[in-house]
Amino acid sequence: MSNNKQIESSKKEDLKIEWFGLDGLLCLIYLAEALLFAYAMINNNDFIVGKLVPYSVAAVTTAVFLKYLYQVFSFARKNGKK
């Protein structure tokens, strides 16, 4: 019985959002982007709307993708040596 409770609690811990990790960083980036985009639209700033926001979103997306690729390959390399 207690083994099932331990398994359930470990599953719940795996599903928690880590606010001080990548999840929190992405939330902060989204908030900053939304505020910057709103400011740029209100003040008709074409540089922010047309250049800064799209390039920064592309850079963050690429960085997150590369981080996940690194995790996948390091996991595969670690499990392949057994």
pLDDT tens-digit profile of 14-60?
A: 666 666 777 788 888 889 889 988 999 999 999 988 998 889 889 98
Is the pLDDT reported for residue 13 higher than 70? no
Helix (H) or strand (E) holding 68: helix 53-80
Spatial CB neighbours of 37, under 8 Å, sequence gap ≥ 6:
48, 49, 53
Helix crossing, 53-80 with 22-42: angle to 10°? Answer: 170
Number of domains in the chain: 1
Q: Which residue has the higher pLDDT, 1 or 25?
A: 25
- Kindly write down the DSSP assignment for every residue of 18-63, as one continuous string: -TTSHHHHHHHHHHHHHHHHHHHHHTT-HHIIIIIHHHHHHHHHHH
Query: What's the pLDDT score for residue 43?
Result: 94
Host domain of residue 66: 2-80
